[in-house]
Chain A
Amino acid sequence: MKDTQKQSSLAIGILRGIAGFVVLILIFLLGYIFITGLPNVSWHFLTSPAKAFTAGGGIGIQLFNSFYLLILAMVISLPISIGASIYLSEYVKDNLFTDTIRTSIEILSSLPSVVVGLFGFLLFVIQFNFGFSIISGALTLTIFNLPLLTRNIEESINGVSSDQLQGGLGLGLSKFETIYHIVIPAALPGIISGIILCSGRVFGEAAALIYTAGQSAPALNFGDWNPFNIDSPLSPMRPAETLAVHIWKINSEGIMPDLSKISSGSAAVLVLAILIFNLSARYVGRKVFERMTSAR
């Protein structure tokens, strides 16, 4: 009996060690990224364009591209995901059709992002002749984003009590109206957290973009906001290297003298952005919930 007790406490001690080790890994990772990276981050770094051969370049355009692509991808994927998750959570019955659909969403979510990127390359860049462009990138990111966003929204919808749906139906509203105008608003805290978490994932994605949005960031004219001009920041047809792609690109073939400074600075900015996405997902979701349930 004593032996088994000893064995038990030993095993549990080892487990504690392992858990501590994992925490140490994270602390080390974050510490390394921020300690080496943050000193290189300045307002100039965040706002000025990159330089290919000389020191002193920034990540201004890449940062803008990342946000612009993120917003476009979200705007395209939200209606699709909301529609699909409404159907999945409220209309499907258990049959072969449902099984097929759920399986295909599962498959999409586990596809390597490089495969999604290659498909986007084939379809948008080549077939539709969009070239390496914001629009190709945004559509590819949409495909990459759809399965996870759909699952997140579906879970949030399922989390709303069926009493709400019953209440709407009892008033003579249609099922869809009730879901769209009552259930979805009630699910908003979860949906918003889900959107922010997915945003973090999209923001950091690079493999799906290198052959769709391209690996170059031509100079932009930030005075021109007409999306039909090719050097306007809003132009959907211009190539757009994002921050994540930039990190990969300069580490693989960059030749500027301050390469290590730029890449560690970029990594710090990227991780900081993800950190903000992660933390705000919890915070915003909770705030929305509080606002909905309490007095204004």
Chain B
Amino acid sequence: MIGKAKYSKDRGFSMDNQKLAKQLMKKSKTARYERMGKLGSLAMLLLIMVIVIGIIVFVTSKGLTMFFSDHISFKDFLTGTLWNPGTKTPSGHPAVGALPMIVGSFLVTILAALISTPFAIGTAVYMTEISPKRGAKILQPVTELLVGIPSVVYGFIGLSLVVPFVRNTLGGSGFGILSGTFVLFVMILPTIVSMTVDSLKSVPTFYHQASLALGATQWQTIWKVVLRAATPGILTAIVFGMARAFGEALAVQMVIGNASLMPHNLISPASTLTSVLTAGMGNTVMGSLQNDALWSLALVLLLMSLFFSLLVHFIGRRGSFKK
């Protein structure tokens, strides 16, 4: 690359200039710093990517072991209702039915999201539209704190308050889908609130002004203009909340009762993918069918999490204020 000979011949510079040209063409220490720094930071970024790919590949391959090495059919896994890996069902199929857990996971997630959403949107609207001052001063720190409370603490409170409450009012043991839903409702509420607040805040102020100027009431403005405009952001918030609920392990595991049975009602002990995973992983031997079956549950969990990410991505693409 260095063409200094040609250069000096072409131009016939004085000795002084040749010295300067040499100086200017020497790769400086600074250029080396730049190369090293850029490569180093790229390496860190790639490391994160490798980790993500590693997680997906590892969990997928472990999760598929049961189907390919132990020759269990997907149908038995996804539609069976008896979970006791290593044994057979009365009808002679392997007892690896994950349906009770899948149903349990979806039930608590959907119920929690259904209850949380109106509360979350109401709170977010109050924070941004009705009383922004009080919103910033009281509710913002409150939601941040609620987001920060560890899930085991939610589980502990569920165990010492919600479960006895359900037991005393509705009967049964108190453990079950309903208690799980309650705990998750409180857990995902702040997540949905804070993300909804962000999307409401991104609605341009002239939307409000235009609507109010047309004679709409504050409520009409909120309902017909602001919420409509922020819908993609709110949907994203709800999906995030659901993803958190679906993946939550310990809080749910502490209150749901951990019986791998199809839930018959909301107050009978049930289980979710995560609860069976956390309770079971320590009691099985690596490489056994019992263990492989658990990894298959983990794979379902991973796939659902990827699905939620995809959904967020998809909604985000159609978001209204970003181009």
A residues whose Cβ falls under 8 Å from a Cβ of B: 4-5, 7-9, 11-12, 14-16, 18-19, 21-23, 25-26, 29-30, 32-33, 36, 79-84, 86-88, 91, 100-101, 103-108, 110-116, 118-119, 121-123, 126, 143, 146-147, 150, 172-177, 179-180, 197, 200-201, 203-207, 210-211, 215, 244-245, 247-248, 251-252, 260, 263-264, 267, 270-271, 274-275, 277-278
Complex Cα–Cα for A277 and B144 (A): 12
Given contacts A16-B130, A22-B189, contact A111 B55 (CB under 8 A): yes
In the complex, the answer to whether B150 meets A274 with C-beta atoms within 8 Å is yes
B residues whose Cβ falls under 8 Å from a Cβ of A: 30-31, 33-34, 36-38, 40-45, 47-49, 51-55, 58-59, 62, 118-119, 122-123, 125-127, 130-131, 135, 138-139, 141-146, 148-153, 155-157, 159-161, 186, 189, 193, 217-220, 222-223, 240, 243, 246-250, 253-254, 274, 277-279, 281-282, 286, 295, 298, 301-302, 305-306, 308-309, 312-313
A279 to chain B, nearest CB (A): 9
Q: B148, B193, B250, B313: which contacts A207 (Cβ < 8 A)?
A: B250
Chain A hits for B301, CB < 8 A: 112, 114-115
Q: Smallest CB-CB separation from B142: which chain A residue?
A: A26
Complex Cα–Cα for A260 and B157 (A): 11
In the complex, the answer to whether B298 meets A115 with C-beta atoms within 8 Å is yes
Q: Smallest CB-CB separation from B49: which chain A residue?
A: A104
Q: A11, A119, A177: which contacts B59 (Cβ < 8 A)?
A: A119
In the complex, the answer to whether A177 meets B37 with C-beta atoms within 8 Å is yes
A267 to chain B, nearest CB (A): 5
7 residue pairs, one from A and one from B, having the closest CB atoms = A112-B247, A204-B150, A176-B37, A83-B44, A18-B122, A174-B34, A8-B219
Complex Cα–Cα for A59 and B44 (A): 36
In the complex, the answer to whether B48 meets A112 with C-beta atoms within 8 Å is no
B38 to chain A, nearest CB (A): 6
Chain A hits for B30, CB < 8 A: 172-174, 177
Q: A4, A15, A103, A175: which contacts B122 (Cβ < 8 A)?
A: A15
Given contacts A15-B125, A206-B250, A247-B156, contact A87 B312 (CB under 8 A): no
Chain A hits for B44, CB < 8 A: 79-84, 87
Chain A hits for B156, CB < 8 A: 247, 251, 263-264, 267
In the complex, the answer to whether B122 meets A7 with C-beta atoms within 8 Å is no
Chain B hits for A204, CB < 8 A: 148-153
Residue among A15, A143, A146, A270 with max Cβ neighbours from chain B (10 Å): A15
In the complex, the answer to whether B126 meets A29 with C-beta atoms within 8 Å is no
Q: B58, B130, B161, B309: which contacts A107 (Cβ < 8 A)?
A: B309
Complex Cα–Cα for A278 and B147 (A): 10
Q: Smallest CB-CB separation from A174: which chain B residue?
A: B34
The dominant DSSP class at the A interface is: helix
Q: B53, B55, B131, B218: which contacts A116 (Cβ < 8 A)?
A: B55
Chain B hits for A174, CB < 8 A: 30-31, 33-34, 37
Chain B hits for A271, CB < 8 A: 149-150, 153
In the complex, the answer to whether B34 meets A175 with C-beta atoms within 8 Å is yes
Q: A23, A80, A175: which contacts B47 (Cβ < 8 A)?
A: A80
Chain A hits for B31, CB < 8 A: 174
Chain B hits for A205, CB < 8 A: 150
Q: A15, A114, A264: which contacts B278 (Cβ < 8 A)?
A: A114
A26 to chain B, nearest CB (A): 5
Chain B hits for A32, CB < 8 A: 157, 161
Q: B122, B142, B246: which contacts A23 (Cβ < 8 A)?
A: B142
B32 to chain A, nearest CB (A): 9
Chain B hits for A203, CB < 8 A: 150
Given contacts A174-B31, A175-B34, A211-B282, contact A113 B153 (CB under 8 A): no
In the complex, the answer to whether B246 meets A112 with C-beta atoms within 8 Å is yes
Complex Cα–Cα for A174 and B247 (A): 44
Chain B hits for A206, CB < 8 A: 150-152, 250
Given contacts A4-B217, A23-B142, A108-B48, contact A207 B249 (CB under 8 A): yes
Q: B48, B146, B222, B277: which contacts A114 (Cβ < 8 A)?
A: B277
In the complex, the answer to whether B157 meets A14 with C-beta atoms within 8 Å is no
Given contacts A108-B52, A110-B309, A274-B149, 17 further A-B contacts (CB under 8 A): A4-B220, A9-B219, A14-B122, A15-B122, A83-B44, A107-B306, A107-B309, A112-B247, A244-B152, A247-B153, A247-B156, A248-B152, A251-B155, A251-B156, A252-B279, A260-B160, A270-B150
In the complex, the answer to whether A264 meets B160 with C-beta atoms within 8 Å is yes
Complex Cα–Cα for A26 and B145 (A): 8
Complex Cα–Cα for A76 and B314 (A): 33
Q: Smallest CB-CB separation from A282: which chain B residue?
A: B141
In the complex, the answer to whether B160 meets A104 with C-beta atoms within 8 Å is no
B266 to chain A, nearest CB (A): 21
Q: A29, A83, A87: which contacts B157 (Cβ < 8 A)?
A: A29
Q: Smallest CB-CB separation from B304: which chain A residue?
A: A112
In the complex, the answer to whether B152 meets A201 with C-beta atoms within 8 Å is no
Chain B hits for A173, CB < 8 A: 30
Complex Cα–Cα for A206 and B153 (A): 10
